[in-house]
Copies of this chain bind each other. A is one copy, B any other.
């Protein structure tokens, strides 16, 4: 979708300078920009190349970074407004009612208006797909699943039975939702499977990265709150409760019944033991480990295995690097003290 600079500025509710009628077609990075591109500038680092090398149609930037001679949209949060502009130029795709003949759709499945169903898709009995959703090739919706409006499921997404998903949810390729949790009781000879008969609910505006797996509740419900974003290859176990607006980077694993409260930010390759709780707004650095049952307080940044507040972690890590020095200090002290001891005893 094309917008003029004036329209974009108006839709973003900010002001602009230069040629308001100039057409913007796309967002670009600085060095790939052409005469239809919108670019953004957050700090002075690129100012030197302004405006001589400017290929872009328009820059989003703070007013004070910009010479008068360029087309520009003023913004105090240029990266944010650039992201908003990108969504205006290339809106989220919506279904148009296309249905590939190779799709296998149960007669009693409820397919909303304008749903796109790609080749080799399966929608099982009793499932309901909300209006405008897109099911890409090979998506598998098991019996009794309910999918909201304007969802996008990329190729080969698998929903196990009776999973409930809100509106505008995006599931990337290979995501598995609602598989059995990992629970067994050892009878002395065999691992007996604990029942994994609960459900799973993903709220509106959630985005889940490729090949991520989310298990259903064992008896209860696994929940992912509205607006939460999960990266690729993440594991979310049975009965986990994730709040609103949480961000979870790639390859993190969350064990059973752990709670991540609203707006927590979780790095990549983090591991959570079961029944832990991360309070609202906590930030957990990549590769950290949270012990089972641990409560991580909000409003702080954490690092390490097991997690410690970042300041403490940094101090300990610095001292860890100074262990050789500490060791030789101790050795030198032992020697000196031994000498002193001898001297005192000799002197007396």
- Measured CB to CB, the residues of A under 8 A from B are 26-29, 32, 77, 79-80, 82-84, 86-87, 90, 100, 102, 104, 118-120, 122, 136-138, 140, 142, 154-156, 158, 160, 172-174, 176, 179-180, 182, 184-187, 189-195, 197-198, 205, 207, 209-211, 213, 215, 219-220, 227, 229, 231-233, 235, 237, 245, 247, 249-251, 253, 255, 268-269, 271, 273, 286-287, 289, 305-306, 308, 315-317, 319-324, 326-327, 329-330, 333-334, 336-337, 340-341, 343-344, 347-348
Contacts and interface: CB of A to CB of B under 8 A. Distances in A.
Contacts of A329: 330, 334
Given A180-B172, A289-B287, A326 B315 contact: no
B192 A83 contact: yes
Contacts of A195: 27, 82-83, 86-87, 90
A195 B187 CA distance: 41
A87 B192 contact: yes
A170 B22 CA distance: 45
B83 A193 contact: yes
A173 B176 contact: yes
* 5 nearest A-B pairs in the assembled complex, by CB-CB distance: A29-B219, A86-B195, A319-B323, A176-B210, A158-B173
Given A122-B137, A232-B182, A87 B193 contact: yes
Contacts of A32: 219-220
B179 A158 contact: no
A174 B80 contact: no
B155 A140 contact: yes
9 contacts: A79-B185, A80-B185, A119-B122, A156-B156, A182-B249, A235-B250, A253-B269, A269-B289, A319-B327
